[in-house]
Chains A and B, each alone.
Chain A
Amino acid sequence: MGLFDKLRFKGRRVLVVGLDGVPFSLLKRLSEEGKLPNWTQLMESGSMKRMNSVHPCVSSVAWATYMTGKNPGKHNIYGFVDRNLGSMDVFIPTSRDMAGKTLWEILSQAGKRVVVINVPLTFPPREVNGILISGFLCPNIDKIAHPKELAGVLKEMGYRIDVDAWQARKSLDKFLEDLHLTLDKRIEAMFHFMEREEWDFFQLHIMETDRINHFLWGLWEEGDTQYGPEFIKYYQKIDGILGRISAMLDRDTRLIILSDHGFCGMKKEIFLNHWLQREGWLKFREENPKSVKDIHQESKAYSLIPGRIYVNLAGRESSGSVRFPDEYERIREGVKGGLLGMRDPDSGERIIENVFKREELYHGPHYNEGPDLVAIPHNGYDLKGNLDKKELTYKGPLVGMHTYDDAFLYIKDAEVGTGNNQFGVMDVMPTILKLMGVSSPEDIDGQTLL
């Protein structure tokens, strides 16, 4: 880069590292225990605050909210799966379903050059001024990048889209090996593009933290002597990476690190459709239903993961039978009351902490497609959407689950001008735009934190 370019970029470059599912409280604890030296050093030269995620707090919704600065009622992403209202087929929402311009599209339009690697919900890659390597919803490396030709470079590098999480159910050692290799390849790709490309904005997303949390969090928490230390070792590896990145940045480049949600140990999986069926809200046409396509027309409500409850609404669901506003409201009240009273059959503990009505969470043109209720569980109870379960609860190999109020935002050499949990993931985008001197679109919901 020539001197002239350097002057042009002055004070306007931002590098973001996304650490999927890493809690504020975990980093604080490990840092205080002296296990993350680079992180501790970063804390001294920047500001970190505890941040709220979004409901429901899964990566696709949270990162869509981050990259558009909008609530799901506007960006239209409510989960990893959704239903087609015409056919009731279940599908996986992708970047094409996401309404609204992304942070990198806005920057591209403003003439900035961007490099974006591995952010969830960026598949298929939408066009940017620069490079976009999409995330784990990409099925095939040939389709992963904009521009397309980069697939060749990535293949040569041995780049990996995601870990094979199935391995965790068979051998945690193999899973860990995969986690390390996938992270190594991701970082190799990052430095490759960081050094070779011109950029004003760079974002690297590390998905592997979410993956290790899902399968090792509980073991670490319980003090497992074999996998507890492996868990810490992995976070120390990431600490080392953050140190390397930080050392490479010049003074005119702001470093931002954030997560999209927190994590906690999981006691049990809770099958909400089983509960809805038991309570008479849901009926199936088949004995062993495979998808929401198999729900009976007389059903009043059904659930999609995690904790999304939909009234079977005539005129919206093709299978819908609930016609009148007073019936709709009666169902919502009934389901909400029942959920709040639901208890763990073994311990007697309450399972659901809160139930939101959609108008409390969402607004915008895609409001009507969103869930009518969103149930928020107490930590430890992970709400699932399976349809064929014969029990309410299950304890399987997944030992970690997401939390809403324990994400974080770190900005180097700047003050996040608000208190812990006084802001959310949708506020980061306008903050970045402000740092880069690009004005925010008027229709976003987030507000700058500077």
Chain B
Amino acid sequence: MERGFTIWFTGLSCSGKTTVSQGVAEELLRRGLNVEVLDGDVVRTNLSKGLGFSKEDRDTNIKRIGFVCKLLSRNGVVAIGAAISPYRATRDYNRKEIGDFVEVYCKSPLDVCIKRDVKGLYKKALAGEITNYTGVSDPYEEPLNPEVVLETDRETEEESVGKVIRKLEELRYIQPAAAAQYSEEEEEKVKKRLADLGYL
């Protein structure tokens, strides 16, 4: 069985967590891994239904997602959590609980996120119609040592996905794509072909 691990996407609302996490999931599926995505927005409709946005409720939500990620990871699944998870201590709690934990910070300036405002919630928060909205009326604590920082206002989706995949390869959570392309015998064959041409 492959070794499981958790990729944790954190960042402001509309910073690209869902988009990039889906791209990463697709690439990992393509490589034959078992992948499960726990998206904050989706989780709040079932696993964390009824929880609000107070600090306490937010922490409970993140710890629940972390708990499921832990169970999945130890059973060989790549668990992907994608939630604002604004508090550093709670993310670090999950890191400690899970162990094999790759934190991906979707870094995008607040004004860019406000402009994107996919769900129209920033508008409401700025108008005071909703309270406890991260970045507007609630804090967001940036990660201090995330494994990956994605500058989603400057990178394309595919570049961001590539950065996460590379890091996973580098950390040896997944096999580098190249190594997986050839059997030993095939690699020798191709290397010989290159050597015969003076390309090696």
Residues on A lying within 8 angstroms of B by beta carbon are 58, 74, 76, 80-82, 84-86, 89, 91-94, 96-97, 99-101, 123-124, 136-137, 139-140, 162, 164-166, 168-169, 211, 214, 269, 305, 364-366, 382, 384-385, 396, 398, 441-443
Bound-state Cα–Cα, A124 to B186, Å: 13
- Bound-state Cα–Cα, A211 to B171, Å: 38
Q: Which of B159, B171, B178 contacts A91 (CB 8 A)?
A: B178
- Choose among A89, A91, A92 the residue with the greatest number of B CB atoms under 10 Å from its CB: A92
**Which of A58, A94, A162, A168 meets B181, CB within 8 Å?**
A94
Q: Are A58 and B177 in contact (CB under 8 A)?
A: no
Stretch at the interface among B59-67, B81-89, B92-100, B187-195: B187-195
Residue of A nearest to B156 (CB): A443
Q: Report the Cα distance A100→B159, complex, angstroms.
A: 8
Choose one: B156, B178, B191, B198; the contact of A93 (CB below 8 Å). Answer: B178
Please determine whether B182 and A92 come into contact, CB atoms closer than 8 angstroms: yes
- The minimal Cβ–Cβ distance linking B126 to chain A, given in whole angstroms, is 29
> Nearest 8 A-B pairs (CB), nearest first?
A96-B177, A139-B186, A165-B196, A91-B178, A166-B196, A365-B159, A99-B162, A80-B199
Instruction: Please indicate the chain B residues that have their CB under 8 angstroms from the CB of A93 in the complex.
Output: 178
List 13 additional contacts besides A76-B162, A384-B198, A443-B158; criterion CB under 8 Å. Answer: A80-B199, A86-B170, A89-B179, A91-B179, A92-B187, A96-B181, A97-B177, A140-B186, A165-B196, A166-B196, A365-B162, A366-B166, A382-B198
**Are the C-beta atoms of B159 and A99 separated by less than 8 Å?**
yes
Closest Cβ neighbor of B171 among chain A residues? A86
Residues of A within 8 A of B119 (CB): none
Contact A165 B197 (CB under 8 A): yes
C-alpha spacing A169/B197, complex, angstroms? 10
How many A-B contacts are there with CB distance less than 8 Å? 88
Are B193 and A165 closer than 8 Å at their CB atoms?
yes
Q: Which residue of A lies closest to B188 (CB)?
A: A139
Is the pair A74, B190 in contact by a Cβ cutoff of 8 Å?
Answer: no
Q: How many angstroms between the C-alpha atoms of A305 and B197 in the bound complex?
A: 12
Instruction: Give the interface SS of chain A, mostly helix, strand, loop or mixed.
Output: loop
- Chain A residues closer than 8 Å to B190, beta-carbon distance: 92, 137, 139
- Residues from chain B with a CB closer than 8 A to the CB of A214 are 197-198
Cα of A270 to Cα of B199 in the assembled complex, Å: 13
For residue B181, which residue of chain A has the nearest CB?
Answer: A94
Residue of A nearest to B192 (CB): A166
Distance between Cα atoms of A82 and B200 in the complex (Å): 10
B160 CB → nearest A CB, Å: 8
Q: Is the CB of A91 within 8 A of B198?
A: no
Q: What are 6 A-to-B residue pairs whose CB atoms are below 8 Å?
A: A89-B179, A92-B178, A92-B187, A123-B181, A165-B197, A166-B196
User: Which of A92, A100, A162 contacts B158, CB < 8 Å?
Assistant: A100
In the complex formed, the residue of A with least CB distance to B150 is A365
- Shortest CB distance B26–A (Å): 12
B129 within 8 A of A: no
Cβ-defined partner of A162 (8 Å) among B166, B176, B193: B193
B163 at interface by CB-CB < 8 Å: yes
B111 an interface residue at 8 Å Cβ cutoff?
Answer: no
Q: Chain B residue with minimal CB distance to A400?
A: B198
Measured between beta carbons, the chain A residues less than 8 angstroms from B166 are: 366
From residue A263, how far is it (CB to closest CB) to chain B in Å?
13
B155 at the interface (CB under 8 A from A): yes
Q: Among the listed A81, A91, A211, which residue makes an inter-chain contact with B197, where contact means beta carbons less than 8 Å apart?
A: A211
Contacting pair B200 A305 (CB below 8 A): yes
